[in-house]
Structure formats: C-alpha cells, structure tokens
Amino acid sequence: MTALPMEAEILTRREESPGLFTLHLRLTDSAAQQAYRFRPGQFNMLYLYGVGEVPISIVSDPREARHIGHTIRAVGRVTRGLERLRPGDRLGLRGPFGNGWPLGDCEQRDVIVVTGGLGCAPVTGAVQYLMRRRERFGHVNIVQGVKHADDLLWREQYECWDRMPDTTVLIAADEAGPLWPWHVGRVTDLFDRLRFDPAQAIVLCCGPEGMMLAVAEQLQERGIAAERIWLSLERNMQCGIGLCGHCQLGPKFVCRDGPVFSWREIAPLLRVRGR
C-alpha cells in the first residue's frame, strides 16, 4: 500500500512570476525530518487536503534536506489550490521518489545542462550541487531556453553562475524585446558556443519533450555518446512507486525507473508518437 503522506508546513512562499511560485516546506514530525534525504532530480507527491496529489520535482539543495523547495506552476486543480497556501499552512508529502541525476558520473567531465521553460526547476538543485563542488568537474555549460523573455526565472542566479570560473551560461528566448541581452531563438542555436570535449562530456537535459529530442539528437551528432545524455521525463503519476501504471513508457515506469533516463535507453521509446 502507498505509504501515508507526512505532514509538511510551508516555511516560505515566493512568487516567481504570475502563476508560478516556490514553496519551502519542512516536515512537522522531527523524526521524519531527520530521516528525509533526497537527490537532485527526485520528486515528491504533494497532497492538498481534500483535493488531491501532484508530483513536483525538488529544486532545493540536498545538503539542507530539512528545507524542501518546490517550484510549482498553477495549472491544474491541485496546483491552483497549492498556489493559495501561505506560510504556516499544512500539506501532505510523500517521497522522495525517482532516481535523480547521475551526478557521481559527472565528476572529471565537462557538463552540459540544457533546460527549457520550467524544465530548469528539476535541474536547479543539480547545478547548485555542481557549483558547490566546482573543482570536481570540467567545464560547466548552462543553457536555458524560454518561450518569452519574461519567462526567465532566477535571472540573478544565471548571472551569478556566469561569473563562476570555467562556466558558460547561455540563454535563449523564442521571443524577446530589445533589452534582452541574450540570444533570440532556440537553445540548439547556441550549441556552437558550448565548450566541451565530446569524448567525455555528459549532458543533463530537462524541458518539453520536443526540445529534449532535438537537444539529444544534436548533441549526439556532435559526438557525445547516447549513454551520457540524460533526460528527465514527465508522465502522469499518481502513486510515485511504479504501481498505478499511468507513467508507463514502453516497459519503463517513469516514476520508478526514471524520471531520469539515458538517451540510449529511452530514444527508441520517445521517438514513437503517442507512446
């Protein structure tokens, strides 16, 4: 049986942009709080009392697992309800679920992080992990694409990462005004400016599926092996533990076997429409 949710309290709430907000949560039971650990790229099922549950990736730093950060877009019944919660309010939390990013495999390698839209949220924790242990990795490329320039989240954070040694930050917007300092177009337009050794580089990618397909194909063409291109997928998830069946993609349970998969493993499944 699905384990009971744990009660969590909202510590802080920040409005990122209209309809997009970040909650920092703390489990109210101190033993649960002590026991809770997660890896970047994992997710929790958040339960809104009387409404339902949604899978939301964890954006915060795994070193401070007592404060669990979630950036949420208000799009459905549950997330619109979560949007109305304020500090001190309670919700339920089950997790963490899923495998997370292969950050151990990133050591001594050039890293390319490519994200699209809110796809940057599941990778934010991973980028912070890399930056905090900067010396263990090769050149770090951070590429973020948004539809509209106004959609860019955490602008200061990108500017901060851009100042780190041996780090390249590239940002693209499909549509932008005249004051937009970065590229207008797609993230894949920026790939000539990446700095990496294809023989050893590793890719972490998250965003809309069409964008991830294009990114994976183009970086593979640039010589990166398919088993070192990692994508974080989304599917309908209700249990989080590979039982309810909704997240199946071919033989994979995305919630349990993923959500992070290598391109080698997942390309044949992703290339079939409506799979």
Partner 1 sequence: MATDCTLVAELRFLAAADRQRLIEALREAGYAVHGPRVQEGVIRYAPVERIEDLPRGWRDIQEPGRYRLRQTDENRLFAWAAPAASLKPLVFPPREILFHARRDADGRLRFEAADGAAPKLAVLGVRACDLAGLYLQDRHFLQGAHPDEAYRRRRRKLFLVAVHCAHPADTCFCAATGDGPVARYGFDLAISELEEGWLLEARSHAGQEILDALPTRAAGETQRKAAEAAFRQAAAAQRRRLPGGDLPARLGGRLDAELWQAVGRRCLACGNCTAVCPSCFCHAHVEETPLTGARTTRLRQWDSCFTAGHSLLHGRPVREDTASRYRQWLTHKLSGWHEQYGRSGCSGCGRCITWCPEGIDITAEAAAIAGEEA
Nearest to 16 by CA among 59, 61, 62: 59
Among 106-114, 130-138, 172-180, 246-254, which window interacts with partner 1 (CB under 8 A)? Answer: 246-254
Amino acid found at 201: A
Which of 11, 51, 214, 226 contacts partner 1 by CB under 8 A?
51
CA–CA gap between residue 184 and residue 195 (Å, rounded): 20
67-106 positions binding partner 1, by CB under 8 A: 75-76, 88-92
Q: Are 200 and 110 in contact (CB under 8 A)?
A: yes
Residues 202-241, one symbol each (x = binds partner 1 by CB under 8 A, - = not), give: --------------------------------xxx-xx-x
Within residues 6-25, the interface with partner 1 by CB under 8 A covers 6-7
234: which residues sit within 8 A by CB, 6+ positions away? 209, 254, 259
CA distances from 235 to 14, 103, 224, 242, 251 (A): 26, 23, 26, 12, 14
**Using the 8-state DSSP alphabet, how is residue 5 labeled?**
P
Q: Provide, rounded to whole angstroms, the least separation between the CB of residue 274 and partner 1.
A: 4
| Residues paired with residue 94 on neighbouring β-strands, in sequence order | 45
- The CB-of-120 to partner 1 minimum distance in angstroms stands at 16
- Cα 161 to chain center, whole Å? 17
As measured in angstroms, the least distance from the Cβ of 87 to partner 1 is: 12
**Start-to-end Cα distance in the chain:** 28
The least CB distance from residue 49 to partner 1, in Å, is: 5
Beta carbon of residue 9, minimum distance to partner 1 (angstroms, whole number): 9
267 binds partner 1 (CB under 8 A): no
Q: Which residue, 15 or 29, is less far from partner 1 as judged by CB?
A: 29
Q: Which residues bind partner 1 (CB under 8 A)?
A: 1-7, 28, 47, 49-53, 75-76, 88-92, 234-236, 238-239, 241-246, 248, 250-251, 253, 256, 268, 272-275
